[in-house]
Amino acid sequence: MGLRKRRPPVRQDRIYLGRIVKPHGLRGEVKFHPFGCDPWILEDLQKIQLESPNRELDVEYVRGTVKAPIVKFQTVDDRDGSESLVGGVVWIQESILPELAGEEFYESDILFSRVVTVSGKELGQIQEIVETGACDVLVVRNENGEEELLPASREVVKEIRKTEGLVIVEPPVYEETKNAD
């Protein structure tokens, strides 16, 4: 039996937006590490939830850059207040997200979904979505811990069944190149 602390399971009704990393300055600002979202969405939401410590906060403003956003919450006006938030995970209820049109989906709709090929072969579960610029990449991990990287493109992702937590794919076939000796 190990001494490693187990992580709590991800709650399906929550959209995790990021983590508060550390205080910034003396006036209650914090550095925020977004989980693949635009940090300025916090200003649009205004009210967010914080997990560990559990509390609701009102967003006053977001400034800085996409890679190093600084967030100020109302009622947090000094360094001691901002230090008490460090390590907290920012989340919102999934139900407050606006509906998307047509074939659009939120990353949270497919994260931790089962992945199956069009022929029915089970590939594993989507553990992460990596933003690469040209095309996002799905990190699919099987029960043996082996990872497969799949482009999140229309050519590969054939169907998304949100209610079933299932993504049907047709993985690309790569030809091996032989070295001329």
Which class does domain 107-169 fall in?
mainly beta
**Domain pair 14-95 / 107-169, same fold:** no
| pLDDT, position 21 | 95
Residue 9, pLDDT score? 44
Check: CB of residue 130 under 8 Å from CB of residue 151: no
Decide if pLDDT at 155 tops 90: yes
Q: How does strand 114-117 pair with strand 166-169?
A: parallel
- List the structure tokens of 102: 């047509």
Domains in the chain: boundaries: 14-95, 107-169
CB of 52 closer than 8 Å to CB of 88: yes
pLDDT in tens, 59-104: 999 999 988 899 999 999 999 999 999 999 999 887 777 777 777 7
105-112, Cβ contacts within 8 angstroms, sequence gap of 24 or more? 105/160, 105/162, 106/15, 107/36, 108/15, 108/16, 109/160, 109/162, 110/138, 110/160, 110/162, 110/167, 112/10, 112/165
pLDDT of residue 12: 59
DSSP-assigned letter for residue 41: H
Which CATH fold would you assign to the domain 14-95? Elongation Factor Tu (Ef-tu); domain 3 (2.40.30)
Asked if pLDDT for residue 10 goes beyond 70, the answer is no
Q: Give the best-scoring range by mean pLDDT among 6-10, 76-80, 134-138.
A: 76-80
11-66 tens-digit pLDDT: 557 888 889 999 999 999 999 998 877 888 888 887 899 987 789 999 999 999 98
The length of the chain in residues reads: 181
Please, which contacts does 159-166 make with residues 24 or more away whose CB atoms are closer than 8 Å? 160/105, 160/109, 160/110, 160/113, 162/105, 162/109, 162/110, 165/112, 165/113, 165/114, 166/113, 166/114, 166/115, 166/116
